[in-house]
Structure 1
């Protein structure tokens, strides 16, 4: 039986993003090993049927603990006769490719879930991450990118093969065919049937930039709308304070972490996503699958998904006035809102999980 080692920084990578790949590898007869810092392990890992190899990898490239982690990973690779390595995350990609090179394991696959250098990124990102990724690409048999900007940049590297795979995909059928009584779901959320429902999904962190939408909503005082935010994060208290400062407490609901995202998407009218940085956002694909138009930032990843003025609008992340105007335009034009939502429902099919799994099967067969 062939054996493959999947390497990442944290173990949640395996159940959040690798389930599809694990299913494909099992269907091809692989024994699957996983190496990560398992300090974040929980019961969701148990269902994956993978052989765990804990090591002390750290997310920060400046941590000296990664020197120890590199030696640990080499020992893991030396102790097993792996036929291939598939690595993820910046530090996982660095340590795994160096260790595999040292031990003599080939082929090596690296998935870049959004390079840390991108258009508009801080110059320090380009100075630190770009030369590292460029150098290590020569030790990479297959470099997988998940958006077009990264794919084009990776063409300048020295990987044997650069392939575009649209992220982890989305189960469009699960969201499209969800059985829901919309009025009852809205009642559960404390929303009347005649209220326009705006939705964002994402951690309450700086990168997700919820501030822009909150400030835009403050400019729409006369509209009968409510804004739902699904997610938790370090900025939750700050954002709740901002809501009070803006005087929009009656228009905003903080829903926290949710297990009913498909239902909430189907009970909403419009999706908002002003993020500063993305790879290929699953939440936008989920919203598209539910037939929602999307107003989002014109950044890498988002531009792969949303066609401006066809599936919604692409704006600068901090364009508060622009977000307010486009929200106002859509919620007052039901025909346009429906047309954009229907366009998204159709265009998102090319990002379906089945399509992704087919591409990954071709890659794994190639190795």
Structure 2
């Protein structure tokens, strides 16, 4: 039974997200299964391919899966996905993100099993009309999926209260990260000094943000907090930005602020990078005040490198950051208050290196929990168990 070649169809919104989050599990599954991947060809997270995918039993199918709420585009992508499913005839369709799950499940085939992983529920992180819209779409998905997976405690609590059967939470720390790569021991003090000197930031207090420059990830709070901080510490602090703007989501900054973002001599825009770990190795504090996360990989990567995190006390963030242990969780009240609290913590850590060192050492106490291998092993067990049920 276990040696039978099964067809597993993975669906995720875009190629960049597949490459960054699901590459390892797809490769592992391909050794004993026929793996198909549906995604758009866009690279929202634009990094080099982790593998030469042509060497594995993987077949990619390109569908323009919208990240917007366009009904026309969603239905068009749903028809395209249905046709691919009919052609491939997989044993299992495994979709990720609400935007990937909804068009998959819209025209589901009864003879095939459908699983879905929600990397952060919209209904649990929205308000007003958007909350209503997400609630309708996600509840529809819950009803039609054979198994539902959540990656943080808050989302799991909500969905399991509605659907007690076949609702699960990942035991792994989200999708985790590569601990062989995100390992501070790889970098000597000379390595760190050389990188700092090449960036002309030697002797400065380094704050880093990684991800898309979008308001719902708190990017506006990052910029405004930093600008306020350099008023008190001119020439002594620097902000490393690893990522870039998203064409469909606003930064939350004014036109004047966006101009300054690329002109400010204390802000280094490094773009998307495949060597994030290098920059984390020279980082003092990781700043990621996001309100809309499932379980942020960027926080897991920072903690793996021993970098304390300052973030908001929101779902996903609070699953990995423990207040006063490996960082700070700030209760969000208003943007102006959030900025004040962020600046207060950054200022405190800049002036109290002993506290910073203690938080950094605490990051390593749960180091093994951050491994992506946990995620891969858990997913392999799930797929193999599924094969015994078919």
TM-score by length of 2: 0.84
CA distance in 2, matches of 1:70, 1:208: 28
2:115 is equivalent to residue 109 of structure 1: yes
1:174 aligns with 2:181: yes
Structure 2 residue 350 is matched with structure 1 residue 340: no
**Paired position in structure 2 for 1:229:** 241
Contact 1:278–1:302 (CA under 8 A) maintained in structure 2: yes
Q: Comparing both chains, which one has the higher relative contact order based on Cα–Cα distances under 8 Å and sequence gaps of 6 or more?
A: 2
Q: Does 1:141 align with 2:150?
A: no
Distance 1:122 1:190, change over 3 A: same
Structure 2 distance, partners of 1:71, 1:141, is 20
Equivalent residue in structure 2 for 1:24, among 20, 28, 45: 28
Q: Is the 8 A contact 2:187 2:281 kept in 1?
A: no
Task: Give the one of 329, 343, 346 matched to 1:314.
Answer: 329
Distance in structure 1 (CA, Å) of the matches to 2:260 and 2:39: 42
Q: Residues 70-124 of structure 1: CA distance to partner in whole angstroms, max 9, x if unpaired?
A: 3332222222331111012323212222333x35212x210111111115x2222
Change (3 A) 1:76 1:206: same
User: Is 1:82 matched with 2:90?
Assistant: yes
The count of aligned residue pairs is 361
Contact 2:295 2:316 survives alignment (8 Å)? yes
> 1-side partners of 2:111 and 2:161: how far apart?
25
Q: Structure 1 residue 209: deviation in Å? A: 2.3
CA distance in 2, matches of 1:75, 1:168: 29
2:196 counterpart residue number: 186
Gaps of 5+ in 1: none
1:327 Cα deviation (Å)? 0.9
> TM-score, normalised to structure 1's length?
0.88
CA distance in 2, matches of 1:72, 1:236: 32
Contact 1:145/1:164 (<8 A) preserved: yes
Q: Does 1:124 align with 2:129?
A: yes
2:59 corresponds in structure 1 to 51
CA distance in 1, matches of 2:355, 2:366: 16
Helix, strand or coil at the partner of 1:8:
strand
What CA distance in whole angstroms lies between the structure 2 residues aligned with 1:199 and 1:326? 14
Structure 1 counterpart of 2:293: 278
Q: Which residue of the partner structure matches residue 212 of structure 2?
A: 203
- Look up the match of 2:8: 4
Following superposition, the deviation at residue 299 of structure 1 comes to 1.3
Q: 1:110/1:190 Cα in 2 relative to 1: closer, same or farther (>3 Å)?
A: same
> How far is the alpha carbon of 1:210 from its aligned partner?
2.7
